[in-house]
Structure 1
Amino acid sequence: MTDLPAPGAEADPSAQALADALPEIRSAKTRGWAFCALIVAVSAVLLILLSGVEGSFQWVIIILFMGGFGLVSIHAWVRKQHERAVMPVIARAFGLGYVKSPKDFYPTLPKNFIPQGGQRSVDDMMSGTVAGRSFRFAECKTETGGKNSSTLFQGLVLEVRASGSVPEFIIASEKETKGFLFFKGKVQVEGMELIRQSTGSDGQTYGLWSRPGGPRPMAGLDAFMDRIIALGPRVLGSATLYSLVSTGQYYYVSLRHKRDLYRIGGLFADETEVMSNVRMAARELGHPIELAAEILRAEEALLAAK
């Protein structure tokens, strides 16, 4: 089913990733601690200079705040450097291409299956092929933007090329399609009709929407929906299904989760902890690959039922 090489026991992607990236991991951590020492030294000198100055309490607070902010920023920078060093190696072990911050991912997504928001970010895009079909996935986050920005969607988005023989439809959590007063639902289903509802493995109610005159007569679509919403932790990991859109040419699947999937290392992480993070990232990486394969299996059954 898959064109991707499954790393065997003799080629542990976690161990290989850590071995290849270890020099850069150590270098980033050393530079991070050097920057921390510099911030602490500068802050200490400023505090000493202000110690005898009357009315300097406000400046002391500002210096402590700026110093703390600098240390937190350095920790985040070190983690990003560790991720940049490790993730391409893990991706290659699975036969995937890797782009840290792609610019062309969001513009190709349908406008109706995740909230658009005023601020969007995409990280860790990977691409490959399954059963001769191209697929790619990335971590996506949309926020309202502005001074009091809040998160509208955080999760993983998967794009899989379809056979071209399936109609347009949407499968989405019912609560995400419901609007409130003048506000629309986060998943847009305007101009579509609800064909069916069913409960998924996570206990949520999902709906199947299509264009009027669309896939209603298509046999096997109910089974396609049941198969997708029944996918559990073996395929989805710690994520939950948010929505699936078929455009006829591509399937787009959004999975919601509340944390970064590939958090690796950091200023205080030793090599044992980094290895644990790398192993976790490798396990998480297997889920969207398996999901792409499951979608194509469901499509195969759908087309066979026509």
Structure 2
Amino acid sequence: MRRLRLEGWCRTVAGLAGLLLLSWLCYRYWPDRSAGALALGFLLITIFAPFLGSRWLSRRRTELVMPHLARMAGLDYLSDGREYVEALPRPFLPITSVMVVQDRLGQRVGNRSVEMAEVRLCTQHKDLGDLFEGIVFSCELLRGMPHFFIVDTRETEKKWYDHPSMDTGQFQLWRRLAGPDDRSYGVWLEPGQGEDPALLPVIDVLLHPQRWIDRETSLFSAHCDGQKLHIALTTRRDLLRLGGLMATDSSIKRAVLEAMQALSVPSQMMSAVMEAEGKALEARQLR
């Protein structure tokens, strides 16, 4: 780890030296340029070079450490999960070409496969913000789960500057439900789909992720086709990330402990899925 930190500092210092040399050469051979422009260039260099070096070091640490931590937690770790996200059903996440997928995790729970990844989806216009940032979870289901698509209503409303971030396709709006933190969710069903007594009990479990995940999060969307359930949760920070250039040994140890806690998220979400399956079975038996 110390060797990796040294490499990160060497890359940063080398980048700073190279950029400063380039700036000096420009000033040397084009003296008519103002000194203010050169000073601004120096300022930008000193800000962005350490930032990029820190990001590189943080990512390298994560790639080296997380596979070992994942195995200790009984998970498979794959750093690149773009293919997994691109294969998700539509509608589920906003469609965009600007996608960052990190820290894909996989697990077998009995005879079921479970997957999770950190995802960030952006527009081409950076000033409009992110379309989605958080974790995406997928798992196989027992037979008998209802079909549905639920999403934050703000994602399906038409915006003056763009199209809605979510296209519901052939799905038809069935009902609007109130969620936590004054959020509103639309429940969408397939054309001709009858009302299922298991639908509302299952959705009630999904609307409150704080009950089963020990971190600040909220439901973005969920899609169920009866065989697989896909859940997207918004989060405000990376679940699995180690420190950068200024990280100390103690801060790295704290980050490792936090990462181990984050690795429990798939099992916590699987517990919620099993609770939803139990409520679906109970609702049908009471009918």
1:266 aligns with 2:244: yes
Aligned AA for 2:283? A
Higher mean Cα deviation, 230-239 or 262-271? 230-239
Which residue number corresponds to residue 62 of structure 1? Answer: 41
Counterparts of 2:21 and 2:42 in 1: how far apart (Å)?
11
Higher mean Cα deviation, 42-51 or 191-200? 42-51
1:284 aligns with 2:262: yes
- List aligned pairs for 1:145-184, cutoff 5 A: 145=124, 150-180=129-159, 184=163
Aligned AA for 1:27? R
Counterparts of 1:164 and 1:51 in 2: how far apart (Å)?
73
Which residue number corresponds to residue 300 of structure 1? Answer: 278
The Cα of 1:167 is off from its aligned counterpart by: 3.8
Aligned AA for 2:269? L
**Cα-to-partner distance string for 1:32-60 (whole Å, 9 max, x where unaligned):** 12223334445666677758984462455
**Cα-to-partner distance string for 1:151-187 (whole Å, 9 max, x where unaligned):** 2111111111122433421122222232246965333
The Cα of 1:67 is off from its aligned counterpart by: 5.0
Unaligned runs of 5+ in 2: none
1:251 aligns with 2:235: no
TM-score by length of 2: 0.85
1:119 aligns with 2:98: yes
SS where residue 264 of structure 2 aligns? helix
1:144 aligns with 2:144: no
SS where residue 235 of structure 1 aligns? coil
Aligned AA for 1:100? S
For the Cα contact (< 8 Å) 2:172–2:189, is it kept in 1?
A: yes
Aligned residues: 281
Aligned AA for 1:178? E
The Cα of 1:69 is off from its aligned counterpart by: 2.9
Aligned AA for 1:254? A
Which residue number corresponds to residue 191 of structure 2? Answer: 212
**Cα-to-partner distance string for 1:58-80 (whole Å, 9 max, x where unaligned):** 45543553454332211111111
Which residue number corresponds to residue 202 of structure 2? Answer: 224
Counterparts of 2:115 and 2:19 in 1: how far apart (Å)?
46
For the Cα contact (< 8 Å) 1:130–1:293, is it kept in 2?
A: no
**Cα-to-partner distance string for 1:214-241 (whole Å, 9 max, x where unaligned):** 250x222211111221331641622211
Among 71, 74, 97, the residue aligned to 1:92: 71
Counterparts of 1:44 and 1:233 in 2: how far apart (Å)?
52
SS where residue 299 of structure 1 aligns? helix
Counterparts of 1:54 and 1:179 in 2: how far apart (Å)?
53
Which residue number corresponds to residue 4 of structure 2? Answer: 28
Aligned AA for 1:111? R
Alignment CA distance shift 1:108-1:236 (3 Å): farther
Counterparts of 1:80 and 1:36 in 2: how far apart (Å)?
15
Unaligned runs of 5+ in 1: 1-24
Counterparts of 2:81 and 2:75 in 1: how far apart (Å)?
15
Counterparts of 1:47 and 1:113 in 2: how far apart (Å)?
47
The Cα of 1:81 is off from its aligned counterpart by: 0.8
SS where residue 180 of structure 2 aligns? coil
For the Cα contact (< 8 Å) 1:102–1:122, is it kept in 2?
A: yes
TM-score by length of 1: 0.80
Higher mean Cα deviation, 177-186 or 219-228? 177-186
For the Cα contact (< 8 Å) 2:198–2:283, is it kept in 1?
A: yes
Alignment CA distance shift 1:273-1:220 (3 Å): same
Aligned AA for 2:2? R
- List aligned pairs for 1:186-197, cutoff 5 A: 186-197=165-176
Counterparts of 2:208 and 2:40 in 1: how far apart (Å)?
54
**Cα-to-partner distance string for 1:110-164 (whole Å, 9 max, x where unaligned):** 1212111121221110000234321101011111226767421111111111224
For the Cα contact (< 8 Å) 1:198–1:226, is it kept in 2?
A: no
1:134 aligns with 2:113: yes
Alignment CA distance shift 1:289-1:220 (3 Å): same
